[in-house]
Amino acid sequence: MPFRADLVEKWEIKKGDLVTGRPAGPGCPVYHALRVLSANPVTGVIECHTVGPMAARTEEVHDVQAYHVHAFEGIASTVRKPPVFGTRQYFLPGNCMIGLAHTALVNMSFQKPSGLHVRLEDIRIL
């Protein structure tokens, strides 16, 4: 969610748009390019996929500058120990450019045909 949630409505951010900004809540110094999957103009919540930085150089973007990260969800590979619901887990996002350990609360974890599906909340960078 952008620090200014009203921008979702004001700029008419919608599915397919590209948003750039920095996940300032966890303290990440790296700008991210995000492909919007859904955007709620009332709450300002944007659901998105992180995409490579080249996308932001080839198309029009909405630069929200900074945003709150509520959750990280996707298919995970177990490296040391499998995620356990309700515990704080160390992880490294697949394409993290700073390569620092992250930690988050495991809020969902189940096996799917595509792999181990995990939802992490309260993300922090160590």
The 3-state DSSP class for residue 9 equals: helix
pLDDT digits (tens, 9 = 90+) for 25-34: 777 888 899 9
pLDDT digits (tens, 9 = 90+) for 54-67: 888 889 999 999 99
pTM attached to this predicted model: 0.83
Asked if residue 55 lies in contact with residue 18, where contact means CB atoms within 8 angstroms, the answer is yes
Percentage of residues in the chain with pLDDT exceeding 70?
100
The 3-state DSSP class for residue 42 equals: coil
Residue 18's pLDDT band (cuts 50, 70, 90): very high
In the chain, domain spans: 6-68, 72-125
Average pLDDT over residues 34-56: 91
pLDDT digits (tens, 9 = 90+) for 77-113: 888 889 999 999 998 887 777 888 889 999 999 999 9
How far are the Cα atoms of 38, 86, 101 from residue 106, in angstroms, in the given order?
23, 5, 15
Instruction: Give pLDDT, residue 21.
Output: 93
